Structure 1
Amino acid sequence: MDMTAEEFEALVVDELDRLPDDMVDGLDNVVFVVEDEPEDGSDLFGLYEGVALTERGQYGTGELPDRIVVYRHAHLAACEDEAELRDEIHTTLVHEIAHFYGIDDEQLHELGWA
């Protein structure tokens, strides 16, 4: 599948807007970023960079925002059409947001999101 960076980013924003309010309302000091691929060349769909909500102690004064990165190339390589791409972006967003809330990969597997 082929799509410009701008078109892909618009899909990510659209899928973010479709997430339930109770999932995104608690996201404090988090930015969403679209990048082509991880610097290490891995085939990740997304990455959460930050300190999970469950692990925060003194927090709230001067910290850089946590980041949720969605990688464009991995998504495009794995999907055949826009509907499949939207589903995969949605799953990636839920997966990475779950990490923000302190849900690990094992729990995500149990819930069917990994």
Structure 2
Amino acid sequence: MAVIQMDAEAFEALVVEELDALPDDMVDGLENVVFVVEDRGEDGTLDLLGLYDGWSLTERERYGMGELPDRIILYREAHLAVCADHATLRDEVHTTLVHEIAHFYGIDDARLHELGWG
């Protein structure tokens, strides 16, 4: 499979487009969350497409005032490595956003797989 090319700026624009296309009821509840694009995960591999870094709503009792925002991170190079074309890339970014936002709401990987978002 050929790896598609997309610079960081174009990938970030794609992420914003897909975020804007998500249903309002999915994104309206996001509180103190920022979306970040990085090239790769901390381990340097291309195994991880996205990461929710923070406290889910089900754990927010531990969450205090003045906390740094939770982060939803999408990894550009990992997405490009698994997608053969721009349509597939758009779909994968969409799926990753839904998956990581679900973690914010306290939905775990097992349930996401059951729902087809794993």
- Name the TM tier (shorter chain): over 0.9
8 Å CA contact 2:79–2:93 kept in 1: the answer is: yes
Aligned counterparts of 1:106 and 1:39: Cα–Cα separation in 2 = 24
Q: How far off its partner does 1:61 sit?
A: 1.3
Matched, 1:39 2:42: yes
Residue of structure 2 in register with 1:65 after alignment: 69
Q: How far off its partner does 1:41 sit?
A: 1.9
Name which of structure 1's ranges 103-112 and 56-65 shifts more when overlaid on structure 2: 56-65
Residue of structure 2 in register with 1:2 after alignment: 5
Q: How far off its partner does 1:56 sit?
A: 1.2
Q: 1:93 aligns with which of 53, 78, 97?
A: 97
Q: Secondary structure at the match of 1:56?
A: helix
Superposed CA RMSD:
0.9
- Aligned residue pair count: 114
| Letter of the structure 1 residue corresponding to residue 8 of structure 2 | A
Residue of structure 1 in register with 2:19 after alignment: 16
Aligned counterparts of 2:22 and 2:85: Cα–Cα separation in 1 = 21
8 Å CA contact 2:40–2:75 kept in 1: the answer is: yes
Provide structure 2 residue ranges, at least 5 long, that are not aligned to the other structure.
Answer: none
TM-score (norm 2): 0.93
| Letter of the structure 1 residue corresponding to residue 74 of structure 2 | V
Residue of structure 1 in register with 2:81 after alignment: 77
Provide structure 1 residue ranges, at least 5 long, that are not aligned to the other structure.
Answer: none
Q: After the TM superposition, which segments of 4 or more aligned residues of structure 1 sit over 2 Å from their partners?
A: none
Q: Secondary structure at the match of 1:38?
A: coil
Aligned counterparts of 1:98 and 1:5: Cα–Cα separation in 2 = 25
8 Å CA contact 2:52–2:72 kept in 1: the answer is: yes
Matched, 1:102 2:106: yes
Q: 1:26 aligns with which of 26, 29, 33?
A: 29
